[in-house]
Amino acid sequence: MNTGSHTAQAVYLDYNATAPMRPEALRATRDALQAVGNASSIHDHGRDAAGRVDRARQQVADLLNCSRGELIFTSGATEANNLALHATYASQGNIVTSAVEHPAVLETARALTAEAPGSLMILPVDDEGKIDYGAFRAEVEQRGAALVSIMLANNETGVVTDLAPIAEVAHSVGALVHTDATQYVGRLPLDLEDLNVDLLSLSAHKFGGPQGVGALYIRRGTPLPQRPLVFGGGHERGWRAGTLNVPGIVGLGAAAEAAHRELDAEASRIGKLRDLLEGEILAQLPGSYVNGVGSTRLPGVSSVTFPGCPADALLTSMPDISVSDGSACSAGAPTPSHVLLAMGLGREAADSTLRFSLGYATTEQEIRKAIDATVRAVTHVRAVMDAPGHP
Ligand code: PMP
């Protein structure tokens, strides 16, 4: 796969950070960039832009099995999560979430509840990354009205949440359910009729659309006060002001359509490649282990701990493979992954973890290259760490 001129030789296995744009999305975005027109203008050019946005809204709605009027375009999942939590906290006054959420949920929840700390419950997970269903049930039944915000798939481990029973309990006590589905959408089939959540966040760049665009789904009839974060011209039915990012939205729509078409075939092909990667790494590097392996996982994600091998040393030793370390997905100083710590890993183990994430363009040849590079890097780092004189 061609991932850009200066890194053309490197193998890209960091789809959970951002996926390469799908050719369909690239073409559609480029076309839209070349067109002129503000989707709010009533002349021909404006109507043309509005038509492109409508089409994209339908493409996303088709991927999720919802209706167009239930979608609000945003600048990505961070904003969609913020919007969801702000609006629901205003009506529910309580947030129940989990320890393995993305910072876009956890930090928003902490900020919203800072002045009423008892109104935030962060549920622990077990060593496979799963929420304790009994603890969840007890908590939600005691609180009643609340926002339950639980991610559909974890960005670091790929662990998938069985949301339907969670939504059922939450709804039975009058709570609302939001899910951060950023890593799930476009990777596995999703049907909002079955999932039964009230709000869902997604982001284009995780499944082959452009960066900086996403959407929030709000089920029709959900009792929510309208709480925009961005005020102004009343776009997106008053939920988010600002001139629509037409090229981004068009790219999101095209990526959604392409991902939808290929969903089952891609998931099965990618799952086999991930199994190959894990099988070889575990066989060739005794002592290494896969996090969340006992849970249902996304097909393309593998979080592997190499005890005694700091991830930064591994990454330096395998420059031709673009993977992610186990540190928090944030800018600035690296801190050990809160997800791995919540699953019971020690600090050192969390810091000795790599996340491989595969996607629609990953090839078997790339996986074999990544296996060889990982085995060489771990062997090298182990030798350095074991060398006499190493502290
Ligand atoms: N939630 C999850 C689970 C994610 O993985 C990410 C991206 N790292 C986000 C939210 C934020 O998405 P965006 O980049 O679109 O703001």
Closest Cα partner for 229 from 74, 116, 121? 74
Using one digit for the tens of pLDDT, what is the confidence trace for 248-305?
A: 999 999 999 999 999 999 999 999 999 999 999 999 999 999 999 999 999 999 999 9
Domain count, the chain: 2
Burial class (CB in 10 A: 0-12, 13-18, 19+), 383: exposed
Cβ–ligand 1 distance for 154 under 6 Å, the answer no
- pLDDT score of 333 more than 70: no
**Residues whose CB is less than 8 angstroms from the CB of residue 168 and which lie 6 or more positions away in sequence, other chains included:** 196
Compute the distance between CA of residue 356 and CA of residue 14 in angstroms, rounded to an integer: 6
**Residues whose CB is less than 8 angstroms from the CB of residue 372 and which lie 6 or more positions away in sequence, other chains included:** none
Using one digit for the tens of pLDDT, what is the confidence trace for 3-43?
A: 554 455 799 999 999 999 999 999 999 999 999 999 999 99
Residue 286 maps to which CATH number? 3.90.1150.10
Cβ–ligand 1 distance for 182 under 6 Å, the answer yes
Q: Specify the higher pLDDT residue, 390 or 166.
A: 166
Q: Whose CA is nearest to atom 12 of ligand 1?
A: 77
- Decide if 391 is inside a domain: no
Range(s) of the domain holding residue 87: 23-257
- pLDDT score of 332 more than 80: no
Compute the distance between CA of residue 169 and CA of residue 130 in angstroms, rounded to an integer: 17
- Decide if 213 is inside a domain: yes
Same domain for 165 and 77: yes
Q: How many angstroms is it from 293 CA to the middle of ligand 1?
A: 22
- Decide if 114 is inside a domain: yes
Same domain for 224 and 156: yes
- pLDDT score of 327 more than 70: no
Percent of the chain with pLDDT over 70: 96
Query: Does the model's pTM come out above 0.85?
Result: yes
- Decide if 4 is inside a domain: no
Q: Give the pLDDT score at 331.
A: 54
**Residues whose CB is less than 8 angstroms from the CB of residue 142 and which lie 6 or more positions away in sequence, other chains included:** none
